[in-house]
Every structure is written in structure tokens, then in C-alpha cells.
């Protein structure tokens, strides 16, 4: 891997600053989903600032790497990455969820520069990633499609229809990442609708299955690189993460799946994240 | 009347092959019904651009959306009941909301599916698709018009729903008609009553007009093949000229085309109306023509509706 410790540290700092954006945005909006944005912050940072070949100038081109956020409620971390990459002004982040904002509560392809697909109704992103991967193949472009999924949305039947389709068509240019933070709105995934053995399910559907600590930048980069090298079948990475990662009182706290912090919590969250920088 | 019969589905297959020749960006998906929808014609001609999604309509719509994100013009086909019902949320969320270039061309719509029964029939698909923003909704009257409509939707960016039946239907349109999305066609001029037909009901409307002529009634017949955007100008003119209106559709009366026409007229030039449609009941097994009679969708009901509505002028 072409990454040294200095670069890892830079990316960790970037992830911490994106997490701060997330907290500021959701506090300003008064609603939103901090838990799943914070759990996936390191994965998003790795993809947008190191792994994917992309740029705002090429946003309408197919000849670049692509990203679909299937877990659309993690829009704040996605928008933070897009803004920091220059797709729109960073100041605009604070308009999240406001009337006439380009930053909808869930991603919208028609409103937000850089957003390739509207998502929010869960379980639909992987099908879209597959279709995009087929298009790239038809165009003769050797480009990747990364699809970040939630673990709760694995209960949607369409996910498994898409899993079958990708394996059947040998879509090795699709990399699905499951943000396995273990929590969904109503509680632990294993209490609400048990997913385990999750990796066996993906294997049985014909996927190459990898694992990583999704909050360890080094592992994230290493695993994404390994995934890209696998040929002949699509790869899914089951990323063990901590919901609410980086803010002590949000970590593993299902209460912060879809709730904004109050003023006191907001200040503490920012102090903790600034401390980690 | 002695119209030749043609299949809408076969014309769809033919149109796809023509599009495939003209354009490299046309991709076709099906959900294990390629023989029925006739997407098999495209599959045979351009196998590298055809993908069978298996019996997984929701995934098919999402995959279609992804191909469109990748710059393709995508046709996705299955039976109408599955395209619009089973995969409604995928059509809404993944195709219409992001305004993607996906054409849902569905066959076996209405009750003329026949023997399969109510599970495979649909009389709510037009209502479902029409209610979604960004969606263009087209119900061609016959085979050749289906061919022209498919070429037309391919040239217009954005999502579209094209509804086809199973049976062979009378060719009532002229090959010289330029199909224009959003334009209703007056097939027969008249000033006593305006009969507005949709899809397979256009032929019975023309038959009813002929029977009305024998009674001294001069009926206008309109082929309303685009449901959205609705050609309100032609509808208003017909209502003004005739002062009485009949609609006829192989669809539920609830939220059907008749209600759209009624709304358009109520806002502009109210006229007495009668609506020939399915009376908010599920269908059943039977032969196509038996079912059309059973549910009051024949020239006789159109005729009776015309007589009745003229009495209210």
C-alpha cells in the first residue's frame, strides 16, 4: 500500500474534521442522523480523500470512480466529504435540511452537486451500483463503484436480489461496504431482525467477503485495496464500526440514531472531536 | 369494423431492435418474461446489451436506474401489475425522483390478460404512474402506435411508463400519424358528443361512433394516448364543440383517466360526462373478450354512455 504513517494521520485528522461538520450540521438543522454518519466517517474519508479517483470537474463524466450511499440517512457525512472535496462550498453545509437548500435530509441526485444517486428508501443502493457497474463495463471503462450500505437495511429483500444479480453478472467492479455498527432505530440489529451469520449469507450469494475495523484508517485503506484486486466476483466488506464513533455519549447509543444533540451535548461533542484532532 | 389485428408487444420488440441499431446507449432489462414482453427480440439482436434480472422486479428497476446514472437509455419490461405495483417504490425513489432516463414498458396491462386472473391483471397502473412527478405516461391504442411511442420516449430524456396489453388489437391509427408525446389525436370529427378512448378502448369507441351515426348522432372520437402530460387543449376543444363527453378505459374508474379528463374540464369548461371503466372491482379468469363484456368495457357500454350523456346536455 502506497500510504505512509503521515498520510494515515492526515486522513484521521480529515475524518475528525468531517465528524465536526456532521455535528454542526445536525445541530443547526435540529434533526438528522448522527450515529450512522459518525460510524462511517472513516470509510467515507478513505474513499473520498485517498481511494477513489474523482474530482468536481469530472462529476458528469463516467470515467472516474463512483459512489452510491445506500444508507441515505448518512447524508451529513457524505455532504461533508463532497464539500471538502470542492463539489460545493463548505459554508453551504449549514443549510442541511433547510427550505430551498441543495442539501436535502437524504441525498438527491437532482439537487446536490456530486451526488450520483438519490437514496433514502433503504435497500435500493446496491441495485443502482450494479446498474452503474454494468454501464461502465459496456463503456469499456475500468472504474469502480463503491456502495456504502447500512447493516439494518440488510433486512430489505432487494439487497439480496441485488446480491444475486451482481454475482450472476460477475460484477467485480462493485465493492459493497456494510457499515456493521450493530444498531438500528429500534435497537440492536440482532434483536430487531437478526442478520448473523451475515458473512455466510454473502458468501452463499457468491460474493468475495472481507472484514475490517471500519474505524481504523489503516485497515480501511488496506481492505479497500485488497477488494479492488479481487476479480471475477463482487466483493463485500463487512466493516465493524461503532455507531456514534468519536463522541463518547453517542457511541453505541441507539438514541442518537436519528436525533440531533441539544446545546450542551453539541458543545461537548465538538470539544471531544476537537480534542481528537 | 374490419381493422387488421396487431400485437402491441410484437411492435415493442420491433421498435427495440430498431433503437438498438440506431443507438449504442440503449440497454434492455426484463424480469423473466422476455418472451411475453418481446424484449427477447432485442436480446437476440444485441445480447451484450440485454440483461435478464430474473423474477426480481424491484432489483430490475434499481439496476435500470444505475444504468441510466451511467449514461444509458434503459428499457425495463415485465407485466404491468409487477412493474407498477411490485416495484412501485423503486420506480418512485430510484427512477422518478432522480429523474433518470428509464422507460418502463409494461405488457399484459388491464384485464385482457385473461386466464391468469386478477393477480396478473392491473386496473390501477395508470393511476399509480400518473401520480408520480417527472413520469410521462403513455397508453398506445394499437400495435403501430406502440412502435411509434417507443421510438418517441427513447428520444425524450427522463422516466416514462408505456402501457401495453396482451392481446392483438385492431389497428385504428394511421401509419402517417406522427406520434407526438402529449398530443391527443382526433380520429373522427363530430359535434354531438366527444368520446375519448384510451388504449384498447379506442376501437370500441370508434365502433360505438359508427352505431351512433346510424342513430343520427355525430360523435367525435379522440385517441388519448398520452395520459401525462395531458393534452388539455384538445380535450377542452372537444368539450366545447360537443357539449357532452364520454371517456372509456380498461382501468379502474377510481383515479382513472376519466377522473383526469373530468378535472381538466371542470377547471376549464365543465360538460356532462359519463365514464366507461372498471367499476372498482378486481377482475377474474376468462377470455379477453368475455372479460371486456363482463366488466362493461365494450362498444355497447360506450354507445349507451353517449346516449345517456347527450340527454344531460
Cβ-proximal residues to A4 (8 Å cutoff; 6+ apart), any chain: none
Write out chain A residues lying below 8 Å of B64, CB-based. Answer: 131
Q: What is the mean pLDDT of residues B127-148?
A: 98
Burial class (CB in 10 A: 0-12, 13-18, 19+), A233: middle
Torsion of CA B161, B246, B303, B141, to 10 degrees: -20
Q: Which three cell numbers stand for residue B15?
A: 421498435
Nearest to B68, CA basis, from B99, B38, B102: B102
Write out chain B residues lying below 8 Å of A119, CB-based. Answer: 93
> A208 to chain B, minimum CA–CA distance in Å?
20
ω into A182 cis (within 30 of 0): no
Q: What is the mean pLDDT of residues B11-33?
A: 98
Instruction: Tell me, yes or no, if B189 is annotated catalytic.
Output: no
Residue A137 Cα distances to A51, B44, B71, angstroms? 20, 20, 12
Q: How many domains does chain A have?
A: 1
Torsion of CA A59, A60, A63, A66, to 10 degrees: 60
Write out chain A residues lying below 8 Å of B71, CB-based. Answer: 62, 135, 139
Sign of CA dihedral B49, B55, B57, B60: negative
Indicate whether B98 pLDDT > 70.
yes
- The pLDDT confidence band at residue B265, using thresholds 50, 70 and 90, is very high
CATH 3.40.50.970 range(s) for chain B read 5-170
Write out chain A residues lying below 8 Å of B53, CB-based. Answer: 161, 165
Does residue B99 contact residue B158 with C-beta atoms inside 8 Å? yes
User: Domain containing A9 — which CATH number?
Assistant: 3.40.50.970
Share of chain B above pLDDT 90, in %: 97
Binary contact (B61, A121; C-beta < 8 A)? no
Kindly identify which residue of chain A lies nearest to residue B51, measuring between CA atoms.
Answer: A169
Q: What does CATH list as the number for B185-311? A: 3.40.50.920
Binary contact (A127, B71; C-beta < 8 A)? no
What 3 state SS string does B234-251 have? HHHHHHHHHCCEEEEEEE
Instruction: For residue A152, give its domain range.
Output: 5-276
Choose the CATH number for B5-170 among 3.40.50.970, 3.40.50.300, 3.90.550.10, 2.60.40.180.
Answer: 3.40.50.970
> B166 to chain A, minimum CA–CA distance in Å?
27
> A37 to chain B, minimum CA–CA distance in Å?
21
pLDDT in tens, A61-117: 999 999 999 999 999 999 999 999 999 999 999 999 999 999 999 999 999 999 999
The confidence score (pLDDT) of residue B2 equals: 87
Cβ-proximal residues to B5 (8 Å cutoff; 6+ apart), any chain: B168, B169, B170, B171
Q: Which three cell numbers stand for residue B32?
A: 423473466
Binary contact (A127, B90; C-beta < 8 A)? yes
Q: Is B63 on the interface with A (CB under 8 A)?
A: yes
| DSSP type of residue A145 | E
The confidence score (pLDDT) of residue A277 equals: 65
118-147 in chain A: CB under 8 A from chain B: 118-121, 124-136, 138-139
Burial class (CB in 10 A: 0-12, 13-18, 19+), B262: middle
Identify which of A117, A136, A169 has the shortest CB distance to residue B98. A117
Indicate whether B1 pLDDT > 90.
no
Residue of B63, B91, B134 best to disrupt the A interface, most CBs of A under 10 A: B63
The confidence score (pLDDT) of residue B178 equals: 85
The confidence score (pLDDT) of residue A1 equals: 67
Q: Is B55 on the interface with A (CB under 8 A)?
A: no
| Residue from B6, B18, B57, B249 carrying the catalytic annotation | B57
Indicate whether A56 pLDDT > 90.
yes
Binary contact (B65, A162; C-beta < 8 A)? no
Does residue A235 contact residue A208 with C-beta atoms inside 8 Å? yes
CATH 3.40.50.920 range(s) for chain B read 185-311
Residue B129 Cα distances to B83, B109, B224, angstroms? 10, 13, 16
For residue B87, report the phi and psi dihedrals to the nearest 5 degrees: -110, 25
Identify which of B56, B58, B65 has the shortest CB distance to residue A131. B65
Question: CA B93, CA B132: separation in Å to the nearest integer?
Answer: 10
- The pLDDT confidence band at residue A275, using thresholds 50, 70 and 90, is confident
| DSSP type of residue B111 | S
Indicate whether B39 pLDDT > 90.
yes
Half-sphere exposure of A164 (CA within 13 A, CB side): 13
Q: Which three cell numbers stand for residue B8?
A: 402491441
- The DSSP element (H or E) to which B275 belongs, if any, is strand B273-278
Share of chain A above pLDDT 90, in %: 97
Q: What is the mean pLDDT of residues A13-28?
A: 98
ω into B229 cis (within 30 of 0): yes
The confidence score (pLDDT) of residue B34 equals: 97
> A191 to chain B, minimum CA–CA distance in Å?
27
| Complete edge-to-edge strand list for the sheet that includes strand A174-180 | A66-69, A145-150, A174-180, A235-240, A208-213
Binary contact (A131, B67; C-beta < 8 A)? yes
Identify which of B58, B67, B92 has the shortest CB distance to residue A135. B67
Q: What is the ipTM of this complex?
A: 0.97
pLDDT in tens, A231-254: 999 999 999 999 999 999 999 999
What is the average pLDDT score of chain B?
97
Q: Is B20 on the interface with A (CB under 8 A)?
A: no
pLDDT in tens, B159-210: 999 999 999 999 999 988 889 999 999 999 999 999 999 999 999 999 999 9
Does residue B190 contact residue B178 with C-beta atoms inside 8 Å? no
Amino acid at each position: 500500500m502506497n500510504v505512509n504513517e503521515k498520510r494515515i494521520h492526515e486522513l484521521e485528522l480529515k475524518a475528525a474534521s468531517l465528524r465536526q461538520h456532521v455535528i454542526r450540521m445536525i445541530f443547526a438543522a435540529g434533526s438528522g442522523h448522527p450515529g450512522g454518519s459518525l460510524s462511517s466517517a472513516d470509510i467515507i474519508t478513505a474513499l473520498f480523500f485517498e481511494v477513489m479517483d474523482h474530482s468536481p470537474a469530472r462529476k458528469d463524466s463516467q470515467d472516474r470512480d463512483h459512489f452510491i450511499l445506500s444508507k441515505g440517512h448518512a447524508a451529513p457525512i457524505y455532504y461533508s466529504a463532497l464539500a471538502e472535496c470542492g463539489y460545493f462550498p463548505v459554508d453551504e453545509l449549514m443549510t442541511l435540511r433547510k427550505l430551498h437548500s441543495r442539501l436535502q435530509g437524504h441525498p438527491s441526485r437532482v439537487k446536490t452537486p456530486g451526488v450520483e444517486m438519490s437514496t433514502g428508501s433503504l435497500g435500493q443502493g446496491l441495485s443502482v451500483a450494479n446498474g452503474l457497474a454494468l454501464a461502465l463495463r459496456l463503456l469499456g471503462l475500468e472504474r469502480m463503484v463503491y456502495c456504502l450500505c447500512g447493516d439494518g437495511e440488510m433486512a430489505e429483500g432487494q439487497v439480496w436480489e441485488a446480491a444475486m444479480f451482481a454475482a450472476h453478472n460477475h460484477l467485480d467492479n462493485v465493492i459493497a461496504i456494510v457499515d456493521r455498527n450493530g444498531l438500528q432505530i429500534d435497537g440492536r440489529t440482532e434483536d430487531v431482525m437478526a442478520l448473523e451469520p451475515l458473512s455466510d449469507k454473502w458468501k452463499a450469494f457468491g460474493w468475495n467477503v472481507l472484514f475490517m475495523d471500519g474505524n481504523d484508517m489503516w485497515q480501511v485503506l488496506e481492505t479497500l485495496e485488497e477488494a479492488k484486486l479481487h476479480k471475477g466476483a463482487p466483493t463485500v466488506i463487512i466493516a465493524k464500526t461503532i455507531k456514534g464513533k468519536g463522541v463518547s455519549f453517542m457511541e453505541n447509543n441507539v438514541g442518537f440514531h436519528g436525533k440531533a444533540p441539544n446545546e450542551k451535548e453539541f458543545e461537548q461533542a465538538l470539544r471531544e472531536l476537537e480534542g481528537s484532532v | 369494423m374490419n381493422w387488421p389485428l396487431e400485437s402491441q408487444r410484437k411492435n415493442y420488440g420491433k421498435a427495440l431492435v430498431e433503437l438498438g441499431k440506431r443507438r449504442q446507449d440503449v440497454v434492455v432489462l426484463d424480469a423473466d418474461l422476455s418472451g411475453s414482453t418481446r424484449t427477447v427480440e432485442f436480446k437476440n439482436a444485441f445480447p451484450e446489451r440485454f440483461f435478464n434480472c430474473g423474477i426480481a422486479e424491484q432489483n430490475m428497476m434499481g439496476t435500470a436506474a444505475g444504468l441510466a446514472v451511467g449514461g444509458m437509455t434503459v428499457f425495463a419490461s415485465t407485466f404491468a401489475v409487477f412493474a407498477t405495483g411490485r416495484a412501485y417504490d423503486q420506480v418512485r425513489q430510484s427512477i422518478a425522483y432522480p429523474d433518470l432516463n428509464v422507460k418502463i414498458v409494461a405488457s399484459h396491462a388491464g384485464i385482457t390478460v385473461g386466464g391468469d386472473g386478477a393477480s396478473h391483471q392491473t386496473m390501477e397502473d395508470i393511476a399509480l404512474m400518473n401520480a408520480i412527478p417527472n413520469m410521462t405516461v403513455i397508453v398506445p391504442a394499437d400495435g403501430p402506435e406502440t412502435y411509434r411511442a417507443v421510438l418517441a420516449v427513447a428520444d425524450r430524456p427522463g422516466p416514462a411508463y408505456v402501457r401495453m396489453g396482451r392481446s392483438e388489437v385492431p389497428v385504428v391509427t394511421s401509419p402517417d400519424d406522427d406520434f407526438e408525446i402529449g398530443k391527443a389525436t382526433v380520429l373522427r370529427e363530430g359535434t354531438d358528443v366527444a368520446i375519448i378512448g384510451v388504449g384498447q378502448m379506442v376501437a370500441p369507441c370508434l365502433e360505438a361512433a359508427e352505431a351512433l351515426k346510424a342513430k343520427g348522432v355525430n360523435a367525435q372520437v379522440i385517441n388519448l394516448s398520452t395520459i401525462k402530460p395531458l393534452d388539455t387543449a384538445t380535450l377542452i376543444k372537444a368539450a366545447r364543440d360537443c357539449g357532452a363527453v364520454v371517456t372509456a378505459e380498461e382501468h379502474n374508474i377510481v383515479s382513472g383517466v376519466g377522473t383526469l379528463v373530468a378535472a381538466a374540464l371542470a377547471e376549464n369548461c365543465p360538460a356532462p360526462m359519463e365514464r366507461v371503466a372498471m367499476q372498482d372491482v378486481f377482475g377474474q379468469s376468462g377470455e379477453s373478450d368475455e372479460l371486456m363484456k363482463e366488466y362493461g368495457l365494450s362498444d355497447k357500454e360506450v354507445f349507451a354512455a353517449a346516449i345517456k350523456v347527450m340527454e344531460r346536455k
